[in-house]
Structure 1
């Protein structure tokens, strides 16, 4: 699951394209299936979104929640792909993009009535 935070007036006009870009990177780098898009956009009023003074109102935070298993190289490749595509396709400066990967063990995930460690049919590999 991916959660994106930003200033409402900046985030709302681009969220569909940003979702496409993020998902394209996740598919290309992590090997996620096309149909596994799980994005949440949290547009905030300017007075509710505090960000560093050397950033603009385009400041966007992307939190990527995933099960443990990917290598350091894979996670770095995902972050770099996101920076490259977001800046090229949405014209957001790299300084205005913050990306955090949060990993949890599979047993901490629940979906389809089971925990992640019980799922035998994810349709993608965790150890990439």
Structure 2
């Protein structure tokens, strides 16, 4: 699951495009199917979104929640693909993008009536 935070005046006009680019990057690097998209867009009032000095109002925080198991190189490749694809396709400078990958053990995930460590039919690999 991906959660995207930003100032509403900046985020709302680009949210569909940004979601497409994030999914494209995740498909490219993690081999996730297009239908695996699970994005939450959280547009915030400027008064509710504090961000680091030196950033603009385009500052966007992308939080990626995934089952643990992927190699460090794979996660780094995803982060770099996100920076490059978002800059080239959406126009947000990498200085205004923050990406956080949060991993949880498969047994901490629940979907389709089972836990992540019980699922046998994923169409993509987690340990890559």
Q: What CA distance in whole angstroms lies between the structure 2 residues aligned with 1:120 and 1:90?
A: 36
Q: What CA distance in whole angstroms lies between the structure 2 residues aligned with 1:34 and 1:43?
A: 23
What's the secondary structure of 1:35's corresponding residue?
A: helix
Q: Return 5+ residue gaps in structure 1 as ranges.
A: none
> TM-score, normalising length from structure 2?
0.98
Count of aligned pairs between the two proteins: 128
Q: What CA distance in whole angstroms lies between the structure 1 residues aligned with 2:76 and 2:123?
A: 22
Deviation, 1:34, is 1.4
Q: What CA distance in whole angstroms lies between the structure 2 residues aligned with 1:52 and 1:117?
A: 37
Stretches (4+) displaced over 4 A: none
Residue 86 of structure 2 corresponds to residue 124 of structure 1 = no
> TM-score, normalising length from structure 1?
0.98
| 1:59-98 alignment runs, 5 A limit | 59-98=59-98
Q: What CA distance in whole angstroms lies between the structure 2 residues aligned with 1:19 and 1:51?
A: 21
Q: What CA distance in whole angstroms lies between the structure 2 residues aligned with 1:60 and 1:115?
A: 31
- Structural RMSD (CA): 0.5
Give the equivalent residue in structure 1 for 2:24: 24
Give the equivalent residue in structure 1 for 2:102: 102
Q: Return 5+ residue gaps in structure 2 as ranges.
A: none
What's the secondary structure of 2:35's corresponding residue?
A: coil
Deviation, 1:116, is 0.5
What's the secondary structure of 2:83's corresponding residue?
A: helix
What's the secondary structure of 1:32's corresponding residue?
A: coil
